[in-house]
Structure 1
Amino acid sequence: MLVSSLKPDLQIFADLGSWRAFAPVGEVSLDNYAGVFDRVPFWQFLANSVVISGVTVVLGILINSMAAFALARLRWRGRGFVLTLILATLIVPFETLALPLLWWVNKLPSLEANGFSLEFSQGWLNTYHVQIIPFIANAFSVYLFYQYFSSIPRELDEAARVDGAGWFAIYARVVMPLSGPAIATVAILTFLPAWNSYLWPLMVIQSEELRPVMIGLQYFFQLNVSWGQVMAYSSLITVPVVALFIAFQKSFINSIASSGVKG
């Protein structure tokens, strides 16, 4: 992908089937990258995806970890059934939920600013929050936090309770600071689907100012398709994903390694 983004279309197809397809040889230039910025509002799409993915990750870590804390550390009747119910939602594909979810978000009230006053309107379509709120709670993230929190000794909770700490203080000051690998894993696994989201924004967003980067791929398949620009655009939108993994790879690998360690 990266090598092809540096070549014109004719050379891309000429190099197919040989080692030259994987090497930056021939007519190599940055013209495809310049063409990307001329063809789409790349920075607008990038900013939208960064905001949507970033907010989804932050709120997802908060909400899912609090739910997992209640399931793993608190004693209350029916928590096993609730955990089973949460995990059961993993077998339902998003494509099955897309149309009912679209109907619901179109019926929900929305608060909008009109000059110096706030007004209620119906429907979340064509907004930022319709791309964020439905994906904050995630069953797999709850399960990951639940498994990690269950491995933390309960004696720490008892010691904190003796010192006068409440459950929220234990969550914020004891459990979460010890859960770095789990947080990093959930951050990566939440960021990836949010960044790669295509079907849902295609259904709910009409304004170009609110579209994420994946919708931008459509622009390159209208009229004349430039495969070099497609590769250049794909390379650009891959950079944040690679950067996130590099930043959290140590904690991510530690979380995977520790998941198989007992005792």
Structure 2
Amino acid sequence: MAAVKADNHGMRLASRYAVLILVAIIFVFPLLFMVMSSLKPSAQLLLDTKSLRAFLPVGDLSFQNYTDAFARAPIGVFVFNSVLVTGITVLLCLFVCSLAAFAFVFIDWGGKAVIFSVLLATLIIPYETIFIPLLLMVSQLPWIGADGFELGWLNTYRVQIAPFIADALSIFLFVQFFKDLPKELIEASRVEGASWWSIYRRVVMPLSGPVIATAAILKFLFMYNQYLWPLMVVQEEAIRPVMVGLGYFTDQLNVPWGEVMAYLTIITVPVLGFYLSLQRVFISSVASTGVKG
């Protein structure tokens, strides 16, 4: 009987891994096609799409497409702008949204249920519906910088960051995670005289690795893929992000497909690197938490 159970368990495990491998292959194929295509001349690229050669490193392979793509447009500047804007926005969002969620979950104050309900209601409002009023507002906002007083935030990094620092989805994710934390930890900290800031910084956030990784990945993907808002508020090439830069790149006449694939490969690298780094953070935080409810 034990042998039969072991065989059944092995079969279920094998079938589960087979499904996971199949799903992984489906997701990897487009990336593999993109990378292989970026290494081939455009004529060979189009011919190889008729067979599995499109996914294989065969034929006349070189980095010429990358050289030509960098010569055609300042791709490095575009990637730097997107990484800078996205990184700062993600960090500020995690801080602001986690603080807001901490106040909603652990601190008693009047009207927080109503405010939280209104906050969740904003999830059904598309960002695109507020872009025009927001554009009119940021075009008249004052700013005091190194050059003195300025009126208007257009063509700046801050106009790409400030409107997206806080969002209802991130706050909701933190609230749901904080609700599952053991309340005994918070009560014990309060009994020992810890301030709310100390509890947030030393007790709650060290246990919140999974939700931090989840919120950061979602925010990173949203910000890195921004197109409409930067297109409206940024006209200078020096601060143009990658998605607007991609439109600028492909709008030029007779851009070879190999160069397009090279551009796509370059702008995909930061996304994969960010995801893989946060995946390690997620796994290590889950393994080291050791909290029991």
Q: Same fold by TM-score, threshold 0.5 exceeded?
A: yes
Higher radius of gyration, 1 or 2: 2
| Counterpart for residue 107 of structure 2 | 74
Q: Which stretch has the larger CA shift, 170-179 or 74-83?
A: 74-83
Q: Which runs of 5+ in 2 are unaligned?
A: 1-33, 287-291
Letter in 2 for 1:138: D
Unaligned 5+ runs, structure 1: 257-261
CA gap 1:252/1:105 in 2 versus in 1, 3 angstroms: same
Partner of 2:28: none
CA distance in structure 2 between the aligned counterparts of 1:253 and 1:182, rounded to whole angstroms = 12
Q: Specify the SS of the correspondent of 1:107.
A: coil
Deviations along 1:144-190, one digit per CA (max 9) or x if unpaired, are: 10011111112111111122111111111111111111111111111
Pairwise CA distance, 1:254: 9.0
**Is 1:248 aligned to residue 278 of structure 2?**
yes
Report whether the alignment pairs 1:89 with 2:101. Answer: no
The equivalent of 1:105 in structure 2 is 138
The residue type equivalent to 1:249 in the other structure is Q
Match of 1:141 in 2: 170
Which residue of structure 2 lines up, in the alignment, with residue 177 of structure 1? 206
Report Cα offsets for 1:211-240 as digits up to 9, x if no partner: 111222122331222111110011011011
Q: Which amino acid aligns with 2:249?
A: Y
Q: Which amino acid in the other structure matches residue 124 of structure 1?
A: W
What is the count of residue pairs matched by the alignment? 254
1:229 counterpart residue number:
259
Taking the aligned partners of 1:188 and 1:178, their CA distance within structure 2 comes to 18
Q: CA deviation at 1:108?
A: 1.1
* Whole-Å separation in 2 of the counterparts to 1:231 and 1:21: 12
For 1:253 and 1:92, the matched residues in 2 are separated by 33
2:186 to 141, 145, 157: 157
Tell me which moved more, 101-110 or 19-28: 19-28
The alpha-carbon deviation at position 16 of structure 1 amounts to 2.1
Between the aligned residues of both structures, percent identity stands at 54
Task: Within 5 Å, give how 1:41-52 maps onto structure 2.
Answer: 41-52=74-85
- Do 1:220 and 1:229's aligned partners in 2 also have CA atoms closer than 8 Å? no
**Contact 1:220–1:226 (CA under 8 A) maintained in structure 2:** no
CA–CA distance in structure 2, aligned partners of residues 204 and 73 of structure 1: 38
For residue 259 of structure 1, what is the aligned residue in structure 2?
none
Matched with 1:239 is 269
Contact 2:207 2:285 in 1 (8 A): no
Q: Distance in 2 between matches of 1:174 and 1:145?
A: 14
Could you say which residue in structure 1 is the equivalent of 2:219? Answer: 190
- Judging changes above 3 Å, is the alpha-carbon distance between structure 1 residues 96 and 105 closer, same or farther for their aligned structure 2 residues? same
Stretches of 4+ aligned residues off by more than 3 angstroms: 250-256
Alignment of 1:39 with 2:69, yes or no, is: no
3-state SS, counterpart of residue 132 of structure 1: helix
Q: Distance in 1 between matches of 2:281 and 2:176?
A: 16
In structure 2, how many angstroms separate the alpha carbons of the residues matched to 1:91 and 1:108? 27
3-state SS of 2:35 partner: coil
Task: Give the deviation of 1:253 after TM superposition.
Answer: 6.9
Cα separation, 2, equivalents of 1:232 and 1:85: 44
CA distance in 1, matches of 2:75, 2:177: 39
> Per-residue displacement from partner, 1:68-94 (whole Å, max 9, x unpaired)?
000011112221111111111111111
CA distance in 1, matches of 2:145, 2:252: 34
Bigger helix fraction: 2
Is the 8 Å Cα contact of residues 140 and 151 (structure 2) preserved in structure 1?
yes
| Contact 2:142/2:149 (<8 A) preserved | yes
Q: Secondary structure at the match of 2:150?
A: strand
Instruction: Please point out which of 47, 54, 57 is paired with 1:14.
Output: 47
SS of aligned partner of 1:110: strand
TM-score by length of 1: 0.91
Structure 2: how far apart are the matches of 1:82 and 1:250?
35
